[in-house]
Every structure is written in C-alpha cells, then in structure tokens.
C-alpha cells in the first residue's frame, strides 16, 4: 500500500565483516516505511548497532546497498546526514559541557542560527524536561536525563528518520517508562520514521509497529508484533525438568501427545506449543512421570515475542549465548 511514498529506510543485503573475521552482518535487509516505528530486536552481537552504523553513514558495508528517504547511503552520505537523527548506544553528549551548550552546538552544526536556534533549543529543553538542568554539566545528569538529552540532540534539526540504538538500556524502570512515553509521542508524528533497536521483548512489543528479529547478522523473522505472535498457533508450554533429559526419548514421548508440536530443548528446559495448553500439561506431566522424568516446574502462556524468537532462532532470547544443539528441526 505504501509503494508510492518513498520508504524511510531501505537496506538490501547488507554484509559487514570486521577485522578478525567477525561477520557482523550477513545479508541483512529491512524496509522502514514513512512515519512508522520499526523495531530491530536481537541479542548481544546480533548486528543491530552495525546496521545502524551503516545506515547512518558511520561505517561502510562490504556489500549491499541502503537508502534513507531516497538518498543512497554510500554515494550521498552528505544528504543522508541532513535527514537523519541519531541516538547511538553510547551517549555522545559532551559530559563537560552543559545540556544547553550541547544542544546549541548541535543546532549550529546543522546551520541553525539566531532566534530560530534559541527557540528550538528552548523548546527541546522544555519538552524533555531538562529546563532546570540546562545550565549544568551533563556529567551531573542522571542516566534518564542523559538519555533524554541524547534524544533531544537527535531531534534538533527535525530529522525525517530517527535512529534509536537501545534507548532504554541501563535505565531504571521509572526512567524507562518515561522514555517509552516519549518515544510513543514521537511515533505519533507522521512525518518521522523511527528505527529502534532493543534487547527487550516488551519494549519492541509495545513501541514498534513492525519489527524484525535479528540473529547472527540477518533477519530471521519480520512482521507486526501481533502478526508474529499469531503465527504461533496455540499456547506456549514450558516445562522445567529436574535433570537434563535424554532429549530423543522425551521428544518422542511428548511429540506423541495430541495437539503438541515444536518441541525445543534448552538445557533442562523444554518448550513446546499446544493447541490447548491447559489440557496438554497434565497429560504431559503424567507421561513424563511414568517414564521416570520428573518435572520441577510448569508454565503455560499465550504466545509472546520470546516464543517468536525461540521459534525462529532456535533458542530462548535471554540465553542467546548458548545455541540449542537439537530442536530447531522440530519446528513445523
């Protein structure tokens, strides 16, 4: 439906290898439509920041192409820089300067002057609730205040595409809630597209209109949070066994139960999908008990993004450092 309007971001088959052979991106492609909030969700080292660095003209890909609001990142970085706002994973504000000085310099670098500049800086200080602290050195700011300043810095020149690299990592729950509200407010502005990266499933779920799950430098799933969850028919059932199971045996045992599928092992944890979770659990526990595999804990849940992740990356989101050896093939 959006084919006529120019996409905010188009990245096609980006590949990036760092010295030492680390393949940070391995053919990543995404499209962000004008005005939408697009989430890049993935664990440490998935390639989220690398994607942002390429799209914001900081780094060059080994291969692949990208455009921002129609401007080619590789051949017209100058134009791209005028239409993007960037809030990187690391703050970027000058800690020894005041919040106001940081904003004023940023505005000057984008060519603002005089009354226009003063108005814009005042407006942002007010909007991000930094008015009282405007004259203080940024190093005296709390984590939440610093992050708000970072976002304000990214917005000074009214960009068309805003990149937010982990905007809430390291914030306490209160500051995170405030940041979420701010991002939701920004999302209401139809002329601004936002590309947001996050580790947090609930954050992506809540803020992103569409999202891509990134793993190992490529997109493993893409869609709306609702759509991705809907793909997983049925409930998620997680069983925690008392000891590491004989996977083959338990798989055939559970797999034989009616309406149960997509069995994935992760150490002592076993996850599966069931048409009716509440009905499947007692049968499963009984069957396991009989086979001498005692169950320590059980949870049944409506599908979450975590389950989406598990399905596509073959491992749980939180423990992504240890891939699950078996189990991926069990899906579908």
Ligand X SMILES: Nc1ncnc2c1ncn2[C@@H]1O[C@H](COP(=O)(O)OP(=O)(O)OP(=O)(O)O)[C@@H](O)[C@H]1O
Helices (H), the chain: 48-55, 77-83, 99-109, 114-127, 143-155, 173-187, 201-207, 225-231, 247-255, 277-290, 305-313
Q: What strands lie across the sheet with 63-68, from one edge to the other?
A: 22-32, 9-18, 63-68, 71-72
What DSSP string describes 214-228?
EETTEEEEEE-HHHH
- Draw the binding track, 161-200, toward ligand X (x: CB under 6 A; -: no contact): --------------------------------------x-
Q: Does 198 bind Mg ion (CB under 5 A)?
A: no
The C-alpha atoms of residue 293 and residue 127 are separated, in whole angstroms, by 58
Window 35-74: residues binding other proteins (CB under 8 A):
53, 56-60
> Nearer Cβ to other proteins, position 82 or 261?
82
22 vs 230 by CB, closer to ligand X:
22
Binding of residue 130 to other proteins (CB under 8 A): no
CB 268 within 8 A of CB 331: no
Q: Does the footprint of ligand X cover residue 49 (CB under 6 A)? A: yes
CB under 8 A: which stretch of 109-117, 182-190, 240-248, 278-286 binds other proteins?
Answer: 109-117
Q: Is 49 in the site for Mg ion (CB under 5 A)?
A: yes
Q: Which does 109 bind (CB under 5 to 8 A by kind): ligand X, Mg ion, other proteins, none?
A: other proteins
| In the complex, minimum distance from the CB of residue 233 to other proteins, in angstroms, rounded to a whole number | 43
- Tokens 């405007």 label which residue? 134
The C-alpha atoms of residue 139 and residue 296 are separated, in whole angstroms, by: 48
Residue 108 in the binding site for other proteins (CB under 8 A): yes
Residues 86 to 105: which contact ligand X by CB under 6 A? Answer: 89
Closer CB to other proteins, residue 101 or residue 247? 101
- Residues binding ligand X: number (CB under 6 A): 13
10 Å CB burial of residue 3 (0-12, 13-18, 19+) is exposed
Distance CA 38, CA 22 (A): 26
Count how many Cα atoms sit within 13 Å of the Cα of residue 168 in the half-sphere of its side chain. Answer: 21
Nearer to Mg ion, 46 or 250 (CB): 46
Binding site for ligand X (CB under 6 A): 18, 22, 24, 42, 44-50, 89, 199
Binding site for other proteins (CB under 8 A): 19, 53, 56-60, 78, 81-82, 84, 86, 88-97, 101, 105-106, 108-111, 153
């Amino acid at each position: 439906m959006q084919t006529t309007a120019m996409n905010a971001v188009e990245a096609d088959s980006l590949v990036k290898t760092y010295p030492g052979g680390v393949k940070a991106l391995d053919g990543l492609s995404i499209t962000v439509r004008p005005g939408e909030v697009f989430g890049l969700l993935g664990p440490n080292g998935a390639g989220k920041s690398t994607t942002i660095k390429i799209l914001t003209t900081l780094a060059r890909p080994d291969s692949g192409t990208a455009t921002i609001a129609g401007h080619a990142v590789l051949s017209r970085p100058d134009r791209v820089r005028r239409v993007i706002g960037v809030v990187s994973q690391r703050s970027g504000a000058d800690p020894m300067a005041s919040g106001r000085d940081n904003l004023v310099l940023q505005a000057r670098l984008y060519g603002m002057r005089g009354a226009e500049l003063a108005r814009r800086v005042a407006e942002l200080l007010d909007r991000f609730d930094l008015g009282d602290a405007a004259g203080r050195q940024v190093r005296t700011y709390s984590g939440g205040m610093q992050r708000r300043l970072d976002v304000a810095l990214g917005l000074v020149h009214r960009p068309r595409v805003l990149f937010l690299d982990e905007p809430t990592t390291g914030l306490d729950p209160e500051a995170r809630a405030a940041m979420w509200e701010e991002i939701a407010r920004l999302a209401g502005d139809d002329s601004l597209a936002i590309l947001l990266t996050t580790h947090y499933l609930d954050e992506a779920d809540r803020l992103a209109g569409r999202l891509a799950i990134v793993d190992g430098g490529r997109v493993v799933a893409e869609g709306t949070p609702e759509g991705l969850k809907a793909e997983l028919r049925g409930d998620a059932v997680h069983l925690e066994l008392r000891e590491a199971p004989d996977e083959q045996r338990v798989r055939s045992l559970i797999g034989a139960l009616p309406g149960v599928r997509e069995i994935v092992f992760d150490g002592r944890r076993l996850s599966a999908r069931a048409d009716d979770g509440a009905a499947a659990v007692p049968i499963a526990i009984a069957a396991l008990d009989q086979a001498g595999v005692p169950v320590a804990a059980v949870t049944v849940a409506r599908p979450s993004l975590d389950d989406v992740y598990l399905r596509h990356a073959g491992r749980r989101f939180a423990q992504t450092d240890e891939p699950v050896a078996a189990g991926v093939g069990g899906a579908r």
